[in-house]
Each structure stands twice: as structure tokens, then as C-alpha cells.
Amino acid sequence: MSKSEISYYDWKLTFKKKVDNCIDLHKNRKFQNSIGISDDEFTEYLKKWKKKNL
């Protein structure tokens, strides 16, 4: 095999690996709000904050 063929296959494997990682990130983001935590965690945080500060 020439260097270009090896490079192409290396690129293809790397690209697939990166795409798979991005898909996992998008799945996780569906369950997070704009600050990066889930809605359930955010409501629990607010309840604790209210008990402490109000």
C-alpha cells in the first residue's frame, strides 16, 4: 500500500471515531438545560437554595 492509502484509512477511522463521540455528546445534551445540568438536578438545587436562603 502506498502512503496515501494508509493515510486515507487512518483518516477514515479517526473520522468515524470523532463522529461517534459527537453523537454521544448530542444524546447527553438532550437531557440538559442551558446551564449544562438536567432539569431534575436544577429543581433540586433550587429547592435546597430556597431552604437555605429564604
Q: What is the pLDDT of residue 38?
A: 79
Q: What is the pLDDT of residue 29?
A: 55
pLDDT digits (tens, 9 = 90+) for 4-46: 556 766 766 666 666 555 555 555 555 667 777 878 888 999 9
pLDDT at residue 47 greater than cutoff 90: yes
pTM of the model: 0.42
With contact defined as beta carbons under 8 Å apart, do 39 and 33 qualify? yes
With contact defined as beta carbons under 8 Å apart, do 38 and 31 qualify? yes
Q: What span, in angstroms and rounded, lies between the C-alpha atoms of 22 and 39?
A: 22
- Cell representation of residue 8: 486515507
Q: Count how many domains the chain has.
A: 1
Q: What span, in angstroms and rounded, lies between the C-alpha atoms of 37 and 35?
A: 6
Q: What is the pLDDT of residue 39?
A: 82
pLDDT top residue among 45 and 3? 45
Where do the H-state alpha helices sit in 1-54? 3-30, 39-53
Domain carrying residue 11: 3-53
